[in-house]
A and B are shown apart, each in its own frame.
Chain A
Amino acid sequence: MSLPFLIIAFVTLFAAAAAMSLRNLVHCSLAFVVAFAGLAALYLNLGAQFVGFAQILVYVGAIAILIVFAILLTRSGDTPNEAVLAPGWFYGIAVSAVVFTLLGWAVLNSSALPKEVSAAPQTTVKNIGEALMNKYVLPLEIIGLLLTAAMIGAVIIALKEPSQTDHSGRKT
């Protein structure tokens, strides 16, 4: 395994851990951007150029902006004074440690994984485009429909509620 891969993987994991543990949400979203840019670099390192650039466009470009807007609209940009972890946080961390241990044990002891390293596949964007337009054209259309439905749904959900009493009886 090449040294660049290990360095990028370390940066990605460190940024992911920071995104999940920092107190200020704005810092969390910055660490989140670094983690997803690192993942895109990992995809490029593994030879999947198209996926790497799609990752940068979608995650670093779109989802990070969405998250920053959500932080802005929910007015949670300040560092909170109360606890940021849920009351049962210890069990959550214990369960995730168990999950990692089991996955790691399975990966290290599995006999199903191929032992020899195959040559790097020669994939161009032309191959991907041909596959998308021939073999995978129906899933592509369905994804387009799903994205349209999700966009309309997100706009409708986030619309201002009509004036009514909220759950505590106040007028909104």
Chain B
Amino acid sequence: MTPLQICLLVSALLFAIGFAGAVTRRHAILALVGIELMLNAANLNFIAFWRYGAHPEALTGVMFVIFSIAIAAAEAAVGLALVIAIYRHYKTSNLDEVKDLKG
């Protein structure tokens, strides 16, 4: 295995862990954390391709990760504010009990 493949496997495993957590945990905060883990797995892919791919001097991967980190920060702030608002309204942060729109 080349170093690039090891990096990609690590990030694939990180993505799978984040996905499993986001889908299976009942608490809203942990679903958000799982989404953050998936975002970071994608970031690790960008850095790995920047390091081992062609034309690293173009800095494309690094730039993408910097912007992606900024967007992840905005997403976490809004997401946690939503969790707090949901807790105020429903008095629970369990995702299974927030089902007013369930058909």
**A residues within 8 Å of B by Cβ?**
1, 5-6, 9, 12-13, 16-17, 19-21, 25, 28-29, 32, 35-36, 39, 42-43, 46-48, 50-51, 54-55, 58-59, 62-63, 66-67, 69-71, 73-76, 83-89, 92-93, 95-97, 99-100, 103-104, 107-108, 113-115, 117-118, 120-121, 123, 127-128, 131-132, 136, 139, 143, 146-147, 150-151, 153-155, 157-158, 160-161, 166-167, 172
* Residue in B1, B78, B88 whose beta carbon sits within 8 Å of that of A108 in the complex: B1
B4 to chain A, nearest CB (A): 6
* Interface of A, helix, strand, loop or mixed by DSSP: helix
Known: A93-B20, A118-B56. 20 other contacts (CB 8 A): A9-B10, A42-B47, A46-B48, A48-B51, A54-B66, A74-B83, A86-B23, A92-B19, A96-B17, A99-B16, A103-B8, A103-B12, A103-B15, A114-B4, A120-B51, A123-B59, A128-B62, A139-B67, A146-B71, A154-B80
Given A25-B29, A157-B85, A13 and B24 contact (CB-CB distance below 8 Å): no
Report the count of interface residues on B (CB-CB < 8 A). Answer: 74
**B residues within 8 Å of A by Cβ?**
1-10, 12-21, 23-27, 29-30, 32-34, 36-37, 40, 43-44, 47-48, 50-54, 56-57, 59, 62-63, 65-67, 69-78, 80-85, 87-90, 93, 95-96, 100
A151 to B69, CA, bound (A): 15
Given A99-B15, A146-B74, A121 and B56 contact (CB-CB distance below 8 Å): yes
